[in-house]
Amino acid sequence: MHPSEVLFQGTRQPLLLPACDHYAGSEKLMRKSIALQQEIGPLFDITFDCEDGASAGSEAAHAELVASMLRDDGNKFHRIGARVHDLHSAHFERDIEIIVGQAAAQLAYVVLPKPDSVAEVRKALDLVNHHANKAGRQGLPVHVLIETHGALRDVHDIAALPQVECLSFGIMDFVSSHYGAVPGNAMRTPGQFTHPLVVRAKLEIAAACHAHGKVPSHNVTTEIKDPAVVANDAQRAAAEFGYTRMWSIHPNQIKPVIKAFTPRLSEVNEAAHILHDAMSAQWGPISHGGRLHDRASYRYYWTVLQRARLAGLTLPESAIALLNTPVSEAS
Protein backbone atom coordinates (compact mmCIF):
# COMPACT_ATOMS: atom_id res chain seq x y z
CA MET A 1 0.00 0.00 0.00
CA HIS A 2 0.98 3.63 -0.48
CA PRO A 3 2.67 5.20 2.58
CA SER A 4 -0.07 7.81 2.97
CA GLU A 5 -2.68 5.05 3.21
CA VAL A 6 -0.80 2.94 5.73
CA LEU A 7 0.87 5.47 7.97
CA PHE A 8 -1.97 7.90 8.53
CA GLN A 9 -4.99 5.64 8.79
CA GLY A 10 -7.82 7.45 10.53
CA THR A 11 -5.87 10.70 10.78
CA ARG A 12 -5.23 13.60 8.46
CA GLN A 13 -1.71 13.83 7.11
CA PRO A 14 0.17 16.82 8.50
CA LEU A 15 0.32 19.79 6.17
CA LEU A 16 3.67 20.69 4.66
CA LEU A 17 4.55 24.08 3.20
CA PRO A 18 7.76 25.56 1.77
CA ALA A 19 10.13 26.29 4.65
CA CYS A 20 10.56 30.00 3.89
CA ASP A 21 7.82 32.64 3.83
CA HIS A 22 9.28 35.79 2.25
CA TYR A 23 7.49 39.09 2.93
CA ALA A 24 7.48 42.01 0.49
CA GLY A 25 5.46 45.21 0.86
CA SER A 26 6.39 47.56 -1.98
CA GLU A 27 5.91 47.10 -5.71
CA LYS A 28 9.67 47.08 -6.27
CA LEU A 29 10.26 44.38 -3.66
CA MET A 30 7.26 42.34 -4.73
CA ARG A 31 8.50 42.22 -8.31
CA LYS A 32 12.01 41.32 -7.17
CA SER A 33 10.56 38.50 -5.07
CA ILE A 34 8.60 37.11 -8.01
CA ALA A 35 11.71 37.23 -10.19
CA LEU A 36 13.68 35.30 -7.57
CA GLN A 37 10.91 32.72 -7.22
CA GLN A 38 10.90 32.24 -10.98
CA GLU A 39 14.68 31.82 -10.89
CA ILE A 40 14.98 29.18 -8.15
CA GLY A 41 11.48 27.71 -8.28
CA PRO A 42 8.70 27.43 -5.67
CA LEU A 43 11.15 26.56 -2.89
CA PHE A 44 9.81 29.50 -0.90
CA ASP A 45 6.48 31.28 -0.59
CA ILE A 46 5.99 35.00 -1.07
CA THR A 47 3.60 37.04 1.05
CA PHE A 48 2.56 40.38 -0.38
CA ASP A 49 2.15 42.69 2.60
CA CYS A 50 -0.65 45.20 3.03
CA GLU A 51 0.01 45.76 6.73
CA ASP A 52 3.21 46.65 8.61
CA GLY A 53 5.50 46.10 5.63
CA ALA A 54 3.56 48.46 3.33
CA SER A 55 3.49 52.25 3.26
CA ALA A 56 0.51 54.07 4.75
CA GLY A 57 -1.85 56.39 2.91
CA SER A 58 -2.72 54.47 -0.27
CA GLU A 59 -4.24 51.33 1.17
CA ALA A 60 -6.92 50.72 -1.47
CA ALA A 61 -4.49 51.35 -4.33
CA HIS A 62 -1.99 48.98 -2.74
CA ALA A 63 -4.62 46.25 -2.42
CA GLU A 64 -5.48 46.75 -6.10
CA LEU A 65 -1.78 46.41 -6.95
CA VAL A 66 -1.53 43.18 -4.94
CA ALA A 67 -4.56 41.72 -6.70
CA SER A 68 -3.17 42.70 -10.08
CA MET A 69 0.23 41.13 -9.40
CA LEU A 70 -1.40 37.94 -8.13
CA ARG A 71 -3.26 37.65 -11.44
CA ASP A 72 -0.12 38.35 -13.46
CA ASP A 73 1.57 35.57 -15.45
CA GLY A 74 4.60 35.97 -13.19
CA ASN A 75 2.66 34.15 -10.46
CA LYS A 76 3.14 30.88 -12.31
CA PHE A 77 3.58 28.65 -9.24
CA HIS A 78 0.57 30.07 -7.35
CA ARG A 79 2.69 30.18 -4.17
CA ILE A 80 2.02 33.82 -3.30
CA GLY A 81 -0.21 34.88 -0.43
CA ALA A 82 -1.25 38.24 1.01
CA ARG A 83 -1.23 39.70 4.50
CA VAL A 84 -4.19 42.02 4.91
CA HIS A 85 -4.74 44.70 7.53
CA ASP A 86 -5.74 43.51 10.98
CA LEU A 87 -9.33 42.75 11.80
CA HIS A 88 -9.82 46.00 13.71
CA SER A 89 -8.49 48.21 10.92
CA ALA A 90 -10.78 50.32 8.78
CA HIS A 91 -8.98 48.82 5.77
CA PHE A 92 -9.49 45.14 6.62
CA GLU A 93 -12.80 44.52 4.85
CA ARG A 94 -11.72 46.50 1.79
CA ASP A 95 -8.49 44.46 1.56
CA ILE A 96 -10.47 41.24 1.54
CA GLU A 97 -13.02 42.56 -0.95
CA ILE A 98 -10.32 43.65 -3.39
CA ILE A 99 -7.67 40.95 -3.05
CA VAL A 100 -9.85 37.89 -2.49
CA GLY A 101 -12.62 39.19 -4.71
CA GLN A 102 -10.28 39.81 -7.65
CA ALA A 103 -7.60 37.13 -7.21
CA ALA A 104 -9.10 34.26 -5.21
CA ALA A 105 -8.09 31.72 -7.84
CA GLN A 106 -4.43 32.75 -7.74
CA LEU A 107 -4.01 33.29 -4.00
CA ALA A 108 -2.04 30.68 -2.09
CA TYR A 109 -3.39 31.93 1.26
CA VAL A 110 -4.55 34.97 3.22
CA VAL A 111 -2.65 36.03 6.35
CA LEU A 112 -4.73 37.43 9.23
CA PRO A 113 -2.73 39.59 11.65
CA LYS A 114 -3.50 40.50 15.27
CA PRO A 115 -6.69 38.54 16.03
CA ASP A 116 -7.47 38.56 19.73
CA SER A 117 -9.53 35.36 19.90
CA VAL A 118 -10.72 32.33 17.97
CA ALA A 119 -14.07 34.11 17.62
CA GLU A 120 -12.37 36.93 15.71
CA VAL A 121 -10.66 34.43 13.42
CA ARG A 122 -14.00 32.77 12.69
CA LYS A 123 -15.52 36.16 11.88
CA ALA A 124 -12.65 36.92 9.51
CA LEU A 125 -13.05 33.51 7.87
CA ASP A 126 -16.70 34.28 7.18
CA LEU A 127 -15.71 37.42 5.28
CA VAL A 128 -12.90 35.66 3.40
CA ASN A 129 -15.23 32.85 2.39
CA HIS A 130 -17.97 35.25 1.34
CA HIS A 131 -15.72 36.89 -1.24
CA ALA A 132 -13.86 33.71 -2.18
CA ASN A 133 -17.08 31.80 -2.81
CA LYS A 134 -18.38 34.63 -5.01
CA ALA A 135 -15.16 34.32 -7.01
CA GLY A 136 -15.55 30.53 -7.31
CA ARG A 137 -12.89 29.52 -4.76
CA GLN A 138 -13.77 27.12 -1.97
CA GLY A 139 -11.69 26.63 1.17
CA LEU A 140 -9.09 29.34 0.56
CA PRO A 141 -6.26 28.59 3.05
CA VAL A 142 -5.74 31.08 5.86
CA HIS A 143 -2.64 31.76 7.96
CA VAL A 144 -3.00 33.39 11.36
CA LEU A 145 -0.48 35.59 13.15
CA ILE A 146 -0.32 34.84 16.86
CA GLU A 147 0.87 38.09 18.41
CA THR A 148 -1.68 39.01 21.10
CA HIS A 149 -2.43 37.60 24.53
CA GLY A 150 -5.91 36.57 23.43
CA ALA A 151 -4.72 34.70 20.35
CA LEU A 152 -2.12 32.85 22.42
CA ARG A 153 -4.83 31.91 24.92
CA ASP A 154 -6.95 30.45 22.09
CA VAL A 155 -4.09 29.05 20.02
CA HIS A 156 -5.24 25.41 20.10
CA ASP A 157 -8.77 26.37 19.05
CA ILE A 158 -7.38 28.52 16.23
CA ALA A 159 -5.11 25.70 15.03
CA ALA A 160 -8.09 23.33 15.05
CA LEU A 161 -10.02 25.40 12.48
CA PRO A 162 -9.96 23.33 9.25
CA GLN A 163 -9.30 26.30 6.95
CA VAL A 164 -6.29 27.46 8.97
CA GLU A 165 -3.11 25.81 7.66
CA CYS A 166 -0.36 27.84 9.36
CA LEU A 167 0.23 29.82 12.55
CA SER A 168 3.01 32.43 12.61
CA PHE A 169 4.53 33.99 15.70
CA GLY A 170 4.58 37.80 15.64
CA ILE A 171 7.36 38.33 18.14
CA MET A 172 7.66 42.12 17.92
CA ASP A 173 3.98 42.81 18.57
CA PHE A 174 3.93 40.12 21.25
CA VAL A 175 6.87 41.62 23.13
CA SER A 176 5.48 45.12 22.71
CA SER A 177 2.15 44.02 24.16
CA HIS A 178 3.89 43.56 27.53
CA TYR A 179 4.57 47.31 27.70
CA GLY A 180 8.16 47.03 28.87
CA ALA A 181 7.75 44.04 31.18
CA VAL A 182 9.54 41.95 28.53
CA PRO A 183 12.78 43.67 27.44
CA GLY A 184 13.36 44.68 23.84
CA ASN A 185 16.29 42.27 23.51
CA ALA A 186 13.76 39.43 23.70
CA MET A 187 12.87 40.29 20.09
CA ARG A 188 16.24 39.00 18.87
CA THR A 189 18.84 36.35 19.58
CA PRO A 190 19.73 35.18 22.16
CA GLY A 191 16.86 36.63 24.18
CA GLN A 192 14.16 35.34 21.84
CA PHE A 193 15.26 31.79 22.64
CA THR A 194 15.73 32.25 26.38
CA HIS A 195 13.16 34.68 27.80
CA PRO A 196 10.53 32.51 29.55
CA LEU A 197 7.46 34.35 28.25
CA VAL A 198 8.69 34.34 24.66
CA VAL A 199 9.78 30.70 24.90
CA ARG A 200 6.38 29.79 26.31
CA ALA A 201 4.61 31.51 23.41
CA LYS A 202 6.76 29.82 20.79
CA LEU A 203 6.25 26.39 22.33
CA GLU A 204 2.48 26.84 22.68
CA ILE A 205 2.20 27.79 19.01
CA ALA A 206 4.34 24.89 17.83
CA ALA A 207 2.51 22.41 20.04
CA ALA A 208 -0.89 23.59 18.85
CA CYS A 209 0.15 23.29 15.22
CA HIS A 210 1.54 19.79 15.57
CA ALA A 211 -1.49 18.65 17.55
CA HIS A 212 -3.74 19.61 14.62
CA GLY A 213 -1.46 18.83 11.68
CA LYS A 214 -0.75 22.49 10.85
CA VAL A 215 2.47 24.38 10.07
CA PRO A 216 4.21 26.50 12.73
CA SER A 217 6.04 29.46 11.19
CA HIS A 218 8.84 31.12 13.18
CA ASN A 219 9.18 34.87 13.52
CA VAL A 220 11.44 37.10 11.46
CA THR A 221 15.12 37.76 12.09
CA THR A 222 15.71 41.51 11.88
CA GLU A 223 19.40 41.09 10.98
CA ILE A 224 19.55 41.49 7.19
CA LYS A 225 23.28 41.84 6.53
CA ASP A 226 24.70 38.71 8.20
CA PRO A 227 23.21 35.47 6.81
CA ALA A 228 24.93 33.50 9.59
CA VAL A 229 22.61 35.09 12.16
CA VAL A 230 19.58 34.09 10.09
CA ALA A 231 20.92 30.55 9.68
CA ASN A 232 21.52 30.22 13.42
CA ASP A 233 18.02 31.46 14.27
CA ALA A 234 16.45 29.09 11.73
CA GLN A 235 18.45 26.12 13.02
CA ARG A 236 17.41 26.82 16.61
CA ALA A 237 13.78 27.33 15.59
CA ALA A 238 13.77 23.93 13.89
CA ALA A 239 15.91 21.91 16.30
CA GLU A 240 14.81 23.34 19.64
CA PHE A 241 11.27 24.61 19.08
CA GLY A 242 9.78 22.32 16.43
CA TYR A 243 9.13 24.96 13.76
CA THR A 244 9.04 23.87 10.13
CA ARG A 245 8.79 27.28 8.46
CA MET A 246 10.23 30.77 9.00
CA TRP A 247 9.77 34.31 7.78
CA SER A 248 12.18 36.21 5.56
CA ILE A 249 12.21 40.00 5.10
CA HIS A 250 15.23 40.27 2.79
CA PRO A 251 16.27 38.18 -0.23
CA ASN A 252 19.56 37.37 1.55
CA GLN A 253 17.58 35.51 4.22
CA ILE A 254 15.75 33.12 1.90
CA LYS A 255 18.48 30.58 1.14
CA PRO A 256 19.80 30.33 4.74
CA VAL A 257 16.26 29.66 5.95
CA ILE A 258 15.60 26.99 3.32
CA LYS A 259 18.93 25.30 4.05
CA ALA A 260 18.35 25.25 7.81
CA PHE A 261 15.00 23.50 7.44
CA THR A 262 16.13 21.04 4.75
CA PRO A 263 16.88 17.51 6.00
CA ARG A 264 20.49 16.40 5.70
CA LEU A 265 21.25 14.21 2.69
CA SER A 266 22.38 11.38 4.97
CA GLU A 267 18.97 11.43 6.69
CA VAL A 268 17.18 11.48 3.35
CA ASN A 269 19.14 8.45 2.16
CA GLU A 270 18.42 6.65 5.42
CA ALA A 271 14.71 7.48 5.12
CA ALA A 272 14.61 6.14 1.56
CA HIS A 273 16.25 2.84 2.58
CA ILE A 274 14.01 2.36 5.61
CA LEU A 275 10.78 3.08 3.73
CA HIS A 276 11.81 0.90 0.79
CA ASP A 277 12.42 -2.01 3.15
CA ALA A 278 9.20 -1.27 5.02
CA MET A 279 7.17 -1.33 1.83
CA SER A 280 8.76 -4.65 0.88
CA ALA A 281 7.75 -5.98 4.31
CA GLN A 282 4.14 -4.85 3.78
CA TRP A 283 4.77 -2.10 6.36
CA GLY A 284 5.47 -4.51 9.16
CA PRO A 285 8.42 -4.03 11.56
CA ILE A 286 11.93 -4.21 10.11
CA SER A 287 15.51 -4.05 11.31
CA HIS A 288 17.78 -1.43 9.77
CA GLY A 289 21.33 -0.79 10.94
CA GLY A 290 20.71 -2.88 14.02
CA ARG A 291 17.66 -0.85 15.05
CA LEU A 292 13.99 -1.79 15.03
CA HIS A 293 11.58 0.33 12.98
CA ASP A 294 7.81 0.17 12.68
CA ARG A 295 5.00 2.45 11.56
CA ALA A 296 5.73 4.99 14.27
CA SER A 297 9.18 5.70 12.87
CA TYR A 298 7.99 5.22 9.28
CA ARG A 299 5.77 8.29 9.71
CA TYR A 300 8.80 10.34 10.68
CA TYR A 301 10.89 9.19 7.72
CA TRP A 302 8.01 9.69 5.29
CA THR A 303 7.85 13.31 6.41
CA VAL A 304 11.63 13.65 5.94
CA LEU A 305 11.26 12.69 2.28
CA GLN A 306 8.40 15.12 1.73
CA ARG A 307 10.30 17.99 3.35
CA ALA A 308 13.36 17.20 1.24
CA ARG A 309 11.29 17.31 -1.95
CA LEU A 310 9.73 20.64 -0.97
CA ALA A 311 13.23 22.06 -0.48
CA GLY A 312 14.32 20.95 -3.95
CA LEU A 313 16.83 18.40 -2.69
CA THR A 314 18.00 15.75 -5.15
CA LEU A 315 16.42 12.52 -3.95
CA PRO A 316 17.46 8.88 -4.36
CA GLU A 317 15.57 7.04 -7.08
CA SER A 318 13.89 4.81 -4.51
CA ALA A 319 12.56 7.90 -2.72
CA ILE A 320 11.27 9.43 -5.95
CA ALA A 321 9.45 6.19 -6.73
CA LEU A 322 7.82 6.17 -3.29
CA LEU A 323 6.74 9.80 -3.48
CA ASN A 324 5.43 9.64 -7.05
CA THR A 325 3.55 6.33 -7.00
CA PRO A 326 -0.19 7.04 -7.41
CA VAL A 327 -2.29 5.72 -4.58
CA SER A 328 -4.48 3.69 -6.95
CA GLU A 329 -1.45 1.80 -8.27
CA ALA A 330 0.13 1.25 -4.86
CA SER A 331 -2.96 -0.18 -3.23
Count CB atoms within 10 A of the CB of residue 1.
Answer: 13
Q: Is 276 helix (H, G, I), strand (E, B) or coil?
A: helix
Query: What's the distance, CA 242 to chain centroid?
Result: 13
> 3-state SS of the chain: helix, strand, coil percent to 5?
50, 15, 35
Count CB atoms within 10 A of the CB of residue 269.
Answer: 16
Count CB atoms within 10 A of the CB of residue 56.
Answer: 8
Pick the closest to residue 74 from 124, 32, 28, 12 (CA basis).
32
72 torsion bin: left (phi>0), alpha (psi -120 to 50), beta (else): beta
Backbone phi, then psi, for 174, in 5-degree steps?
Answer: -65, -45
Q: Is 183 helix (H, G, I), strand (E, B) or coil?
A: coil
The CA distance from 281 to 96, in Å, is: 51
Q: Is 50 helix (H, G, I), strand (E, B) or coil?
A: coil
Maximal CA-CA distance, the chain? 64
Q: 147 a known binding residue?
A: yes
Annotated binding residues, written as ranges, equal 83, 147, 173
Annotated binding residues for Mg(2+), written as ranges, equal 147, 173
Annotated binding residues for substrate, written as ranges, equal 83, 147
